[in-house]
Structure formats: C-alpha cells, structure tokens
C-alpha cells in the first residue's frame, strides 16, 4: 500500500508518495530537537548510551565537538593551539574559555512527551549520573526515569540536582 505523504520543512510543500513514512508526516522543527534544562523539574528517561567528548564555542557562538579518544594524549580534548586556530571564544581577560567535557544522549522528555537530544556539560550532573550507573541498586540509566532539577537561571547562580525515580518498565 502506498500512502500519500506531505513532507514539509516549513514550506508546506508536498514532496510526493512514499510508503515508508506515515500519512501527514512533517519534518520536525530542528530548534525543538535539543532539550534545554529549564528551571525546576526536568523529568527524562534516557534512551541511549551517551556520546562523550569535548565541546567549545567559537567567537560566533558555534559549537565545535570532538569525541572522547582514550588513545589520544589529550583524550580527545582540544589543545590551546587548536582553540586559537579555530577562533575559540575568549573571556573578558583575553584567555580562552576552553572546552568542556560533554555527554550527549537521546532522552524521552516527560514534560513534552517527546524524544529529545540532551547535551550535558555540567559536571555535577555528569558525576551524579555516573554514580547512579556505578551503584548496583540503580545501574543502567536507561531502565528508570531521572529528574534533573535546575535552581537558578544565570551562569554563576545555577545549581543542579539529579534524582532517580523508582524502576518502571
């Protein structure tokens, strides 16, 4: 059976007939693919293992990511020379902001009831998730919901806490 599919990327234009996609399918808004940790509770179910690596932002606010590499002298992190060559963002004193370790994974956002990509660079969240993973009572992070609570909105007054929820299928 062939289904007429209207695929749009904001233009509303129909692209033709395709049996693979459901009828009425439209490409998602890319700005809504990433989960932003809002103030208050952010309940999620982790759906995938993380991609881990390092990220920094350029002067024009573009992220540059590189995967973790256990065989590299820097473990995949960027050198000062690379930050300079790639026009990394600088602090007010002229020093480079530098890179941050990240975990990026697919999650189910319980607030919007939809899949999202969650990139975590906050070490307090990463350590809390790592500790749950290592705890035999919790283990695999994909087997239970997690709430990431955000308190504060600024760069220097924001704190995060991570609370696991009881195991559910």
Q: What is the pTM of this model?
A: 0.79
pLDDT of res. 166: 87
pLDDT tens-digit profile, the chain (169 residues): 444 444 444 444 445 566 788 888 877 777 789 999 999 999 999 999 999 999 999 999 999 999 999 999 999 999 999 999 999 999 999 999 999 999 999 999 999 999 999 999 999 999 999 999 999 999 999 999 999 999 998 878 899 999 999 876 6
Domains contained in the chain, CATH given: 1-27 (no CATH), 33-164 (2.40.50)
Place of tokens 């504060």: 152
What is the SS3 assignment for 157?
A: coil
pLDDT of res. 65: 97
Burial 9-38 (b: 16+ CB within 10 A, else e): eeeeeeeeeeeeeeeeeeeeeeeeeebebe
The total of other beta-carbon atoms located within 10 Å of residue 99's CB is 23
Q: Are strands 114-120 and 16-17 parallel, antiparallel or unpaired?
A: unpaired
């Amino acid at each position: 059976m062939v289904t007429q599919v209207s695929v749009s990327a904001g233009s509303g234009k129909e692209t033709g007939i395709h049996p693979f996609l459901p009828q009425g399918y439209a490409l998602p808004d890319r700005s809504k693919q990433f989960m932003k940790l809002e103030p208050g509770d952010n309940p999620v179910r982790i759906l995938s293992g993380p991609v881990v690596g390092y990220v920094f932002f350029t002067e024009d606010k573009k992220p540059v990511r590189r995967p973790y590499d256990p065989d590299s002298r820097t473990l995949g992190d960027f050198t000062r020379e690379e930050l300079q060559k790639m026009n990394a963002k600088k602090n007010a004193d002229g020093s480079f902001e530098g890179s941050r370790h990240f975990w990026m994974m697919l999650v189910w956002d319980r607030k919007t009831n939809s899949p999202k990509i969650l990139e975590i660079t906050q070490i307090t969240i990463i350590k809390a998730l790592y500790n749950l993973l290592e705890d035999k009572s919790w283990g695999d992070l994909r087997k239970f919901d997690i709430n990431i609570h955000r308190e504060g909105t600024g760069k220097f007054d924001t704190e995060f806490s991570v609370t696991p929820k009881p195991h559910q299928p």
